[in-house]
Structure 1
Amino acid sequence: MKLHHLKPAEGSTHKKKRVGRGDRGKGGKTAGRGTKGTGARGTVPAGFEGGQMPMIRRQPKAPGFNNPNKVYFHVINVAKLDASFEAGDEVTPETLRAKGLVGAKGPVKVLGNGDITKSLTVAVDAISATAAEKITAAGGSVN
């Protein structure tokens, strides 16, 4: 047996139905599509929702969604505080901005990355538990 001897099983193939070839017999006039409506016309575009505003256009626009209620903290680590301040200094958002360590506006948070050896008085908007622990262990205080 060779490739050119192969053929489909008896009854498994059918002739293609030729529709839309005149108004007599099966498949004439509307060609099995009924009358009017989207199904009788062309293809429906992907994402079409029947005239409703499509989901892709209902979503917030690029380059991203900015939540107006989210609070963005300016962060600084205790290692940076140790390098930038002298022992006994007071660390506030104003002193950090004066030294250019954080941005112009918004709350400030101190994180616990690095080590601190000086006793500092830290009064910021937020502080991590690790940072507070390291500052008090070095003899400083957290407000």
Structure 2
Amino acid sequence: MRLNTISSAPGAKQAEKRVGRGIGSGWGKTCGRGHKGQKSRSGGFHKVGFEGGQMPLQRRVPKFGFSSRKARFRVEVRLDQLTKVNTDTVDIAALVKARLIPKWAKRVKVIASGKLDKPVSLQGIMVSAGARRAIEAAGGRIGE
């Protein structure tokens, strides 16, 4: 087999539709565009969302909210998950190593869900008010 002898399988390549080549082709005269009107003309298409001068839906509907770019890198950790970390100080690196959060997480917040058995020391992690009370009640401390 040589490169100049290779060809596509039969039926794999379909010929491009040639319009405006006579009545017998089935695509003669108007070339499948119908008679008259904007869509029959060359360049006769309007922009996406255009409704003929009527106020488009995109502008009629009220706008609300936004997507925070910081929220994409924020992860929540429950109190009972902190017991799975086997280090003295719990920080983002320790949580990643314990596979509690993904590697891409940049901000972590501990939420008050579940029970905390042992005292933990948090470093560089945000905590909710309820989680703060639970950690301090268990004898742990929270560093900035």
TM-score (norm 1): 0.52
Could you give the per-residue CA deviations for residues 78-112 of structure 1, whole angstroms, max 9, x where no partner exists? Answer: 11112x034x7210011001111001123111011
1:109 is paired with a residue of what secondary structure?
strand
Question: How many residues in Structure 1 have an aligned counterpart in Structure 2?
Answer: 90
Point out the more displaced range, 92-101 or 124-133: 124-133
1:96 is paired with a residue of what secondary structure?
helix
Call closer, same or farther: CA 1:68–1:133 in 2, change over 3 Å: closer
2:82 is paired with a residue of what secondary structure?
helix
What is the letter of the counterpart of residue 117 of structure 2? T
Matching residue of 1:130: 130
Matching residue of 2:95: 96
Q: Is the 8 A contact 1:111 1:128 kept in 2?
A: yes
In the TM superposition, residue 57 of structure 1 has moved relative to its aligned partner by 7.9
Could you give the per-residue CA deviations for residues 14-57 of structure 1, whole angstroms, max 9, x where no partner exists? Answer: xxxxxxxxxxxxxxxxxxxxxxxxxxxxxxxxx836166x2338
Unaligned 5+ segments in structure 2 are 1-49
Matching residue of 1:56: 58
TM-score (norm 2): 0.52
Larger radius of gyration: 1
Identity of paired residues, percent? 26
In the TM superposition, residue 123 of structure 1 has moved relative to its aligned partner by 1.6
Matching residue of 2:81: 80
Unaligned 5+ segments in structure 1 are 1-46, 60-64
Moved over 6 A (4+): none
1:118 is paired with a residue of what secondary structure?
coil
Once residues 101 and 139 of structure 2 are traced to their aligned partners in structure 1, the CA distance between those partners, rounded to angstroms, is 24
Once residues 52 and 126 of structure 2 are traced to their aligned partners in structure 1, the CA distance between those partners, rounded to angstroms, is 47
In the TM superposition, residue 120 of structure 1 has moved relative to its aligned partner by 0.8
CA RMSD, 1 decimal: 3.1
Q: Is the 8 A contact 2:110 2:131 kept in 1?
A: yes
Once residues 112 and 68 of structure 1 are traced to their aligned partners in structure 2, the CA distance between those partners, rounded to angstroms, is 23
Once residues 58 and 125 of structure 1 are traced to their aligned partners in structure 2, the CA distance between those partners, rounded to angstroms, is 43
